[in-house]
Amino acid sequence: MNKTLIGTFVALAIVAGPALAQTAPPAAPAVDAAVDAKFKAADKNNNGSLDGAEVDPYKANLAKIDTDKDGKISRAEFAAATKSGVIK
Ligand SMILES: [Ca+2]
Ligand SMILES: [Ca+2]
């Protein structure tokens, strides 16, 4: 390997180094503190989704809220419904 080639590799390493270091973990979804507090209050058994009796207050709008139709309200479904005004 000649010196020019080695120099090229060193230069590439210097350029690529910071770029590789910037491979940050994906940003966490923005959490609305107010929505989060409401969800936590509704999720009485704190298992991360509204199921069973926890769903009762939202039964009237469940078809709109429970978008994956599993009978439970996930944190994401709750946030989306709150955003669209279905959950007030
Ligand atoms: Ca729950
Ligand atoms: Ca669901």
- Tell me which H or E stretch contains 55: none
Look at residue 42 and tell me if it is in a domain: yes
Can you read off the two tokens belonging to residue 13?
A: 């390493």
In a domain, 26, yes or no: no
When pLDDT is cut at 50, 70 and 90, the band that residue 30 belongs to is low
**pLDDT confidence of residue 49:** 98
The total domain count for the chain is 1
Distance 86 CA to ligand 2 centre (A): 15
What's the 75 CA to ligand 2 centre distance in angstroms?
9
Of all ligands present, the nearest one to the C-alpha of 49 is 1
Q: What confidence category does residue 23 fall into, taking pLDDT thresholds of 50, 70 and 90?
A: confident
Q: What's the 85 CA to ligand 2 centre distance in angstroms?
A: 17
Structural domain for 46, as ranges: 33-83
pLDDT digits (tens, 9 = 90+) for 54-79: 999 999 999 999 999 999 999 999 99
Task: Say whether 87 sits in a helix, a strand or coil.
Answer: coil
Indicate the burial class of 42 (C-beta count within 10 angstroms; 0-12, 13-18, 19 or more). Answer: middle
Q: 4 in a domain, yes or no?
A: no
Has residue 13 got a pLDDT over 80? Answer: no
- What is the average per-residue pLDDT within 6-33? 66
Largest pairwise CA distance in the chain = 75
Q: Is residue 44 part of a domain?
A: yes
Distance 36 CA to ligand 1 centre (A): 14
Q: What CATH code is carried by the domain that includes residue 72?
A: 1.10.238.10
